[in-house]
Chain A
């Protein structure tokens, strides 16, 4: 652990279309944050943000990875996938807008609330994407 990077780093792989494993990252993070004694309403926001990120990667991408850095000041979550990227981010951010296929909607997912929920739960939210490449969502939640 270097001095300027005090804290805990957690990494979770998220596979495409794997709904049995998706959700593990968020519940694992929740457990760790509870052990750290963080306020329960903050933990809940982080759990929701991570869960939505996991779901988004599983549903919409070719797979990806979630990394979480925990410091006494903040939680920094990065959700990075392996593509295919979002064409119109503004549109994707709209509540209710979804590109999820029917097979996913039938499972009760893909209501078009994921990104807006993630934004709502974060203190800082940044999404960048390159069509044909990948999408990166960065969420910071202050403790």
Chain B
């Protein structure tokens, strides 16, 4: 497999070389060269900011198609939590799930059910003072990758707990094998996703060696089909669903609300998350119990592969998460058993990604920094992006790294022309 798989890719034909995405990439991973944007693969964390801002829809997320279901005898769909926010409050989710099933799936496992279980694990973690504070949730894969790239000293703060998506896949398999006696190899599991970073996580998992999912299909692709199907449905199954608190994970703050932790900070929007991680790195939040950072506005409801406006979806999720539930409480011993059997925890360590390093030899790196300072002094400092690098400093870095020229700067070019 490709060393750097990314769900977020660029369609060259559609790109007109504008600089909208250039400036918005939180880790300066985009360059515009020869009137086309390119993504530096080593850097990209699949946060999807570029997808959101591209006026030409040239940035997109690669997801799977329904044809993939033909590869398996028995297919399970895992509808993601934000799917609840795509429909009006009061919508019969059983009909929605039946509509999904009718697309060719044999079984539905609501991701919110797994969120309920993961919440129990977090409840215990928060009580245990031996975990380094603040405990950082790993729900958002883009944030985990952001920490690897920009905040490596906080890696030990990340809770080594799988996201509800993976836990759901494992539990769904277990359930299907127990109920139907189907062998593992014949089962295909697909996530109905709002999120490109999750798609990447299935191919290139973080914290585990291999994902239990076989693919991900975007909500955008399925939305129309689901609605069409749901309208026709008369008799449908009753599907087991997560609790209102589990559904609430789809919005920012939902995890903390479900865990019942008081001393928490929940932040949405990747730039905001970066600002708070800076504060955490400075040791200013060492007494904070739980940090929930989500790359998208509003949380997962803001994922670029959703259909509904994030604020509308968020409001619906908030209402849904506050409905009084008659659902049975999850048995602590059951959760403990799942943990012991490896359904929930990470098995692999994650490491810093030293992609910003200028050279392995520090003496050389020091010289390069001097050079960057020198070149940056020759640039106007307007950060206009016309050169194709996101800022003047970034252009100076690119030049030193061997990917740019001083002549790329339009202001310098203008000056040179005047001189002639």
Let me know if B359 and A72 touch, CB within 8 A. Answer: no
A12-20, A40-48, A93-101, A127-135 - the one binding chain B? A40-48
Query: Contacting B363 at CB < 8 Å: which of A31, A35, A41, A72?
Result: A72
13 contacts between A and B (CB under 8 A): A8-B366, A30-B281, A31-B356, A32-B369, A34-B150, A35-B368, A35-B397, A37-B365, A40-B153, A40-B155, A44-B281, A44-B283, A143-B362
Q: Which residue of A lies closest to B363 (CB)?
A: A72
Residues of B within 8 A of A43 (CB): 153
Residues of B within 8 A of A8 (CB): 366, 369-370
Residues of A within 8 A of B283 (CB): 44, 48, 117
Interface residues of B in 360-395 (CB under 8 A from A): 360, 362-363, 365-366, 368-370
Task: State whether A27 and B369 are in contact (beta carbons under 8 Å apart), knowing that A36-B357, A72-B363 are contacts in the complex.
Answer: no
Residues of chain B at the chain A interface (Cβ within 8 Å): 150, 152-153, 155, 278, 281-283, 352, 354, 356-360, 362-363, 365-366, 368-370, 397
Give the number of chain A interface residues (Cβ < 8 Å).
Answer: 26
Let me know if B365 and A36 touch, CB within 8 A. Answer: yes
Let me know if A27 and B278 touch, CB within 8 A. Answer: yes
Q: Whole-angstrom distance from the CB of B87 to the nearest CB of chain A? A: 42
Label chain B's interface by main secondary structure.
helix
Residues of A within 8 A of B397 (CB): 35
| A72→B290 CA distance, assembly (Å) | 37
Q: Whole-angstrom distance from the CB of B351 to the nearest CB of chain A? A: 10
Task: State whether A40 and B352 are in contact (beta carbons under 8 Å apart), knowing that A35-B358, A48-B282 are contacts in the complex.
Answer: yes
Let me know if B362 and A36 touch, CB within 8 A. Answer: yes
Let me know if A35 and B153 touch, CB within 8 A. Answer: no
Let me know if A72 and B366 touch, CB within 8 A. Answer: yes
| A143→B365 CA distance, assembly (Å) | 14
Residues of A within 8 A of B282 (CB): 26, 47-48, 51
Q: Whole-angstrom distance from the CB of A22 to the nearest CB of chain B? A: 12
Q: Which residue of B lies closest to A109 (CB)?
A: B284
Task: State whether A37 and B153 are in contact (beta carbons under 8 Å apart), knowing that A6-B363, A51-B282 are contacts in the complex.
Answer: no
| A80→B174 CA distance, assembly (Å) | 64
Task: State whether A34 and B357 are in contact (beta carbons under 8 Å apart), knowing that A70-B366, A72-B362 are contacts in the complex.
Answer: yes
| A8→B367 CA distance, assembly (Å) | 8
Query: Contacting A7 at CB < 8 Å: which of B150, B152, B358, B366?
Result: B366
Let me know if B357 and A35 touch, CB within 8 A. Answer: yes
Q: Whole-angstrom distance from the CB of B376 to the nearest CB of chain A? A: 12
Let me know if A40 and B152 touch, CB within 8 A. Answer: yes
Q: Which residue of B lies closest to A26 (CB)?
A: B282
Task: State whether A37 and B369 are in contact (beta carbons under 8 Å apart), knowing that A48-B282, A117-B283 are contacts in the complex.
Answer: no
| A32→B393 CA distance, assembly (Å) | 12
Let me know if B153 and A36 touch, CB within 8 A. Answer: no
Q: Whole-angstrom distance from the CB of B27 to the nearest CB of chain A? A: 12
Q: Which residue of B lies closest to A34 (CB)?
A: B356
Q: Whole-angstrom distance from the CB of A135 to the nearest CB of chain B? A: 22
Residues of A within 8 A of B366 (CB): 6-8, 36, 70-72
Residues of B within 8 A of A27 (CB): 278
Residues of A within 8 A of B152 (CB): 40
Residues of A within 8 A of B153 (CB): 40-41, 43-44
Q: Whole-angstrom distance from the CB of B355 to the nearest CB of chain A? A: 10
Residues of A within 8 A of B370 (CB): 1, 8
Residues of B within 8 A of A44 (CB): 153, 281, 283
Q: Whole-angstrom distance from the CB of A90 to the nearest CB of chain B? A: 24
Q: Whole-angstrom distance from the CB of B63 to the nearest CB of chain A? A: 33
Which of A26, A44, A117 has most chain B Cβ within 10 Å?
A: A44
| A7→B359 CA distance, assembly (Å) | 15
| A3→B380 CA distance, assembly (Å) | 32
| A40→B356 CA distance, assembly (Å) | 12
| A37→B368 CA distance, assembly (Å) | 12
| A48→B70 CA distance, assembly (Å) | 55
4 pairs of A and B residues whose beta carbons are closest in the complex? A37-B357, A40-B152, A44-B153, A40-B153
Let me know if A35 and B365 touch, CB within 8 A. Answer: yes
Q: Which residue of A lies closest to B373 (CB)?
A: A8
Q: Which residue of B lies closest to A55 (CB)?
A: B282
| A41→B151 CA distance, assembly (Å) | 10
Q: Whole-angstrom distance from the CB of B68 to the nearest CB of chain A? A: 39
Q: Whole-angstrom distance from the CB of B390 to the nearest CB of chain A? A: 14
Q: Whole-angstrom distance from the CB of B361 to the nearest CB of chain A? A: 9
| A142→B282 CA distance, assembly (Å) | 19
| A140→B70 CA distance, assembly (Å) | 63
